Amino acid sequence: MEQLFTAARTHNGWLDKEVPDSLLELALDYAKWGPTSANCSPLRVVFVRSNEAKARLGPAMSPGNHDKTMAAPATAIIGYDLDFHEHLPVLYPAADAKSWFAGNDALIEETAFRNGTLQAGYFILSLRAVGLDVGPMSGFDKAKVDAEFFVGTKIRSNFLINIGYGDSSKLYPRGPRFAFEDMARII
Amino acid sequence: MEQLFTAARTHNGWLDKEVPDSLLELALDYAKWGPTSANCSPLRVVFVRSNEAKARLGPAMSPGNHDKTMAAPATAIIGYDLDFHEHLPVLYPAADAKSWFAGNDALIEETAFRNGTLQAGYFILSLRAVGLDVGPMSGFDKAKVDAEFFVGTKIRSNFLINIGYGDSSKLYPRGPRFAFEDMARII
């Protein structure tokens, strides 16, 4: 639980330590088993690793997120696919789930955003479970990222995750969290 | 990893085995340490446990989700607080983060939904990590739940999670998942 939750931190600086592609694949292959509604599985990920790909991502970053993103061993663009329902005949053969969504753009958007984000939560923890550190970020230009990496698809960017082995000397002080009774009640 | 991802299943039936409140509190107290943007922590949870509370929830359930929800030892109403930014001076003292949101309802909604859902993803896995099983559901009437459990607040329901010790004899066949290359690429 320390590695996943209580001791893990959001990192802003990265050690010069190799992150193999195989470890990123392993983490995503764990995360994909987490539950989504009707197994809709809308999460899509682009791992930005090469200098060429980082150069395409750079102009979309907000100033405070630019340098640490360019320095990270990998940056995952977390997206969700608005065409997810096209795969439901395979992913959820028990019912005609595709027909629940086709033509209902509001339900498609809400379902893709909710379940794609849930899967991203699983992925953040599976990255930590395989020993990596993460730095998730919302500060970037989504339209620019979509135009650069998802053109010609119905995939939309959600947020970004810098991935590597964190440099603990660059951590900020940890923010407080709510007490149980300030975020929950049992009735 | 088996307990969190690969062996864990979405459950529809529940063993007659006591789930102490303390275990629900423990799981949420782990999950709250997961990252959110500017530590905004919008997740709010109502644990529906008593017969009286279950009777208030019942009319909001879709037919296919009603009976298993009434039978579950606990049902967590996963909500997100559209007033989350009021807490940012405490949660994120490093900057005037409250001012980034105040008056921007679209950004508030998007941020609360994204980060509240991320926290819910952490919570699903922390429930599994403390040994419990889960059955998340989107099939219910959100307006009814909001009116019954969140009236007078800016908290909105997101989805529900049945919680207990799962009855494996009532599992459906497991749905397939994408291969890595069908959901991700490395560039």
Tell me the per-residue pLDDT of B162-178, one tens digit each, with 9 for 90 and over. 999 999 999 989 999 99
- Whether A18 maps to a domain, the answer reads yes
Residue B180 confidence class, pLDDT cut points 50, 70, 90? very high
pLDDT tens readout for residues B32-47: 999 999 999 999 999 9
pLDDT recorded at residue B35:
98
ipTM (interface pTM): 0.98
Is A30's CB within 8 Å of B4's CB? yes
pLDDT recorded at residue B7:
95
pLDDT recorded at residue A30:
98
Q: Which helix (H) or strand (E) holds A52?
A: helix A51-57
Segment B37-65 shows an average pLDDT of 98
Is A183's CB within 8 Å of B41's CB? yes
By C-alpha distance, which of A28, A80, A77 is closest to A57?
A: A77
Is B53's CB within 8 Å of A119's CB? no
- Whether B172 maps to a domain, the answer reads no
By C-alpha distance, which of B161, B128, B147 is closest to B43?
A: B161
Give residue B142's domain range. 2-167
Q: In the block, which residue shows the tokens 């764990």?
A: A30
d(CA A24, CA B39): 25
* C-alpha B170: how far from chain center: 22
pLDDT tens readout for residues A73-89: 999 999 999 999 999 99
pLDDT recorded at residue B9:
96
Give the CATH number, domain containing residue A89. Answer: 3.40.109.10
Residue A159 confidence class, pLDDT cut points 50, 70, 90? very high
pLDDT recorded at residue A88:
98
Q: Where are the beta strands (DSSP E) in chain B?
A: 43-48, 74-81, 133-137, 155-164, 184-186
Those residues whose C-beta lies under 8 Å from the C-beta of residue A109, and which sit 6 or more positions away, are A82
Residue B97 confidence class, pLDDT cut points 50, 70, 90? very high
In the DSSP assignment, the letter for residue A21 is H
Segment A154-171 shows an average pLDDT of 97
d(CA A116, CA A103): 20
pLDDT tens readout for residues A4-37: 999 999 999 999 999 999 999 999 999 999 999 9
* CA-to-CA dists, residue A187 to A14, B47, B148, angstroms: 44, 6, 13
d(CA A127, CA B5): 12
- Whether A185 maps to a domain, the answer reads no
Residue A144 confidence class, pLDDT cut points 50, 70, 90? very high
Of B35, B45, B126, the CB nearest to A183: B45
pLDDT recorded at residue B57:
98
For residue A44, list chain B residues with Cβ-Cβ distance below 8 A. 183-184
The first and second tokens of residue B103, run together, are 């008056």
- Whether A119 maps to a domain, the answer reads yes
- The DSSP bridge partners found for residue B157 are B79
Is A183's CB within 8 Å of B111's CB? no
What is the three-class DSSP state of B91?
Answer: helix
- Whether B9 maps to a domain, the answer reads yes
Q: Are strands A184-186 and B43-48 parallel, antiparallel or unpaired?
A: parallel
Query: How many domains does one find in chain A?
Result: 1
Of A45, A52, A187, the CB nearest to B53: A187
- Whether B174 maps to a domain, the answer reads no
If you measure CA to CA, which chain B residue comes closest to A48?
B187
Query: What order do you get walking across the sheet with A43-48 strand by strand?
Result: A133-137, A155-164, A74-81, A43-48, B184-186
pLDDT recorded at residue B56:
98
- Whether B178 maps to a domain, the answer reads no
- Say how many residues make up chain A: 187
Segment B144-154 shows an average pLDDT of 98
d(CA A45, CA B186): 9
* C-alpha B137: how far from chain center: 9
Q: Dihedral sign, CA of A182, A186, A187, B5?
A: positive
- Whether A124 maps to a domain, the answer reads yes
pLDDT tens readout for residues A96-126: 999 999 999 999 999 999 999 999 999 999 9
Provide the residue type at B60 as one letter: A
Of B113, B120, B187, the CB nearest to A50: B187
What is chain A's mean pLDDT, rounded? 97
